[in-house]
């Protein structure tokens, strides 16, 4: 996401023209590598890890490709871990050396929500490790890593989502076009919470497992409700205001993230908690499959709409490079994983072919975005806002 600033206003005036995202920030963006380090960089970790997770799940379930799928999935997850470690160093150093710039970004209606990529990335890495870790580590080691990441990621996710809404509620009045796709990041982080928690269920006591299951549903509920609130604000903004600037075009894809992860979480919570439902287990599984399909259908509409808007942007101008380009990867990956899980839950092989098509699209987006990022790193543009 670029560092475009949405101007704040005391409120609309009668007869005033609709507010627009300004082409230039209303205050100078921070300069210098460390001072200007963008809080959205962990979106690259999320986008890379989800490619590994989907690849490891072997879309199509071809037995002859199982070893290759596992190898590719493991490689992408390891790459995501390396990227996360590299990004964490300047990310944390910025808070120590330039806390004023870091806090200014936190209060920013476009850049601020992107701080949510940190806890979201932690939770995605936890989920990815639970998925592929058995190929490299012992069960005990995987469990410890997932538990540490899940605990830290869940705590930071909850605190971050509260800070996100608190800043929106207590800051200066925002102009009508302030709502943007980046606001979906705190909701999606909450919705990811159940996934690593479920991986811990087989390794804890029954009472602890119930608590983890409750925490998973609580995270899903908090994220989905916040997603609906943000979706309403963004829908109203898109109906009544001009489309966002081209630099914000990728953010419109982020809505696929809460939908995809939500559908996936509903299915996995039902399956993971089946042991605790007793006689109601079958009904819970069926109801969860229906709920996941409903969410998936909403995602199909969102995907088609986001794709149509992207074509419109590309016909009028190019989408400039920015950290926000990574918004094309994780949301689509989450929806691909949900499609794959739904296909296997419903026993519908034709839907699995749809997951293959989505995975090919995801791989294409990842290659394009990573190529643009490497080119920007080589020319020094990656650190410019």
pLDDT digits (tens, 9 = 90+) for 42-88: 999 999 999 999 999 999 999 999 999 999 999 999 999 999 999 99
pLDDT-derived band at 21, boundaries 50, 70, 90: very low
pLDDT digits over 234-270, tens only?
Answer: 999 999 999 999 999 999 999 999 999 999 999 999 9
Q: How far apart, in whole angstroms, are the C-alpha atoms of residue 22 and residue 4?
A: 7
Helix (H, G, I), strand (E, B) or coil at 187: helix
pTM of the model: 0.90
Helix (H, G, I), strand (E, B) or coil at 306: helix
Assigned token pair, 105 = 């970004």
CB 110 within 8 A of CB 38: no
What DSSP state is assigned to residue 37?
-
Residue in the block written with tokens 């990004």: 87
Q: How far is CA 28 from the centre of its chain?
A: 28
Domains of the chain: 39-383 (1.50.10.150)
Residue in the block written with tokens 């476009």: 110
Sign, CA dihedral 149-47-259-354, equals negative
């Amino acid at each position: 996401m670029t560092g475009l600033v949405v101007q704040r206003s005391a409120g609309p005036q009668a007869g005033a023209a609709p507010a627009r995202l300004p082409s230039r920030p209303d205050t100078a963006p921070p300069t210098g590598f460390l001072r200007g380090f963008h809080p959205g960089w962990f979106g690259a970790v999320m986008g890379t890890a989800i490619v590994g997770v989907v690849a490891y799940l072997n879309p199509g379930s071809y037995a002859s490709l199982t070893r290759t799928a596992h190898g590719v999935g493991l490689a992408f997850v390891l790459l995501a871990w390396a990227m996360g470690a590299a990004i964490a160093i300047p990310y944390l150093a910025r808070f120590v050396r330039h806390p004023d710039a870091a806090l200014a970004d936190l209060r920013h209606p476009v850049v601020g929500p992107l701080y949510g990529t940190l806890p979201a990335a932690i939770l995605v890495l936890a989920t990815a490790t639970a998925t592929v870790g058995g190929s490299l580590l012992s069960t005990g080691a995987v469990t410890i890593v997932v538990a540490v990441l899940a605990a830290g990621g869940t705590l930071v996710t909850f605190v971050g989502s509260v800070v996100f809404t608190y800043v929106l509620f207590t800051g200066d009045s925002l102009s009508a076009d302030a709502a943007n796709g980046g606001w979906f990041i705190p909701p999606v982080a909450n919705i990811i919470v159940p996934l690593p928690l479920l991986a811990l269920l087989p390794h804890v006591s029954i009472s602890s497992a119930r608590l983890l299951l409750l925490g998973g549903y609580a995270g899903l509920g908090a994220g989905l409700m916040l997603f609906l609130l943000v979706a309403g604000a963004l829908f109203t903004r898109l109906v009544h205001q001009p489309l966002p600037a081209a630099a914000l075009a990728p953010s419109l894809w982020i809505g696929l993230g809460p939908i995809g992860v939500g559908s996936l979480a509903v299915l996995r919570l039902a399956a993971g908690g089946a042991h605790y439902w007793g006689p109601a287990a079958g009904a819970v599984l069926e109801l969860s499959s229906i709920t996941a399909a409903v969410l998936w259908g909403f995602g199909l509409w969102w995907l088609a709409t986001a794709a149509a808007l992207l074509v419109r942007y590309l016909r009028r101008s190019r989408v400039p490079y920015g950290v926000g380009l990574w918004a094309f990867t994780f949301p689509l990956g989450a929806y691909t994983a949900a499609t794959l899980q739904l296909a296997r839950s419903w026993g519908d092989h034709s839907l699995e072919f749809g997951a293959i098509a989505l995975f090919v699209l995801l791989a294409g987006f990842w290659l394009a975005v990573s190529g643009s990022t490497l080119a920007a790193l080589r020319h020094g543009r990656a650190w410019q806002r």
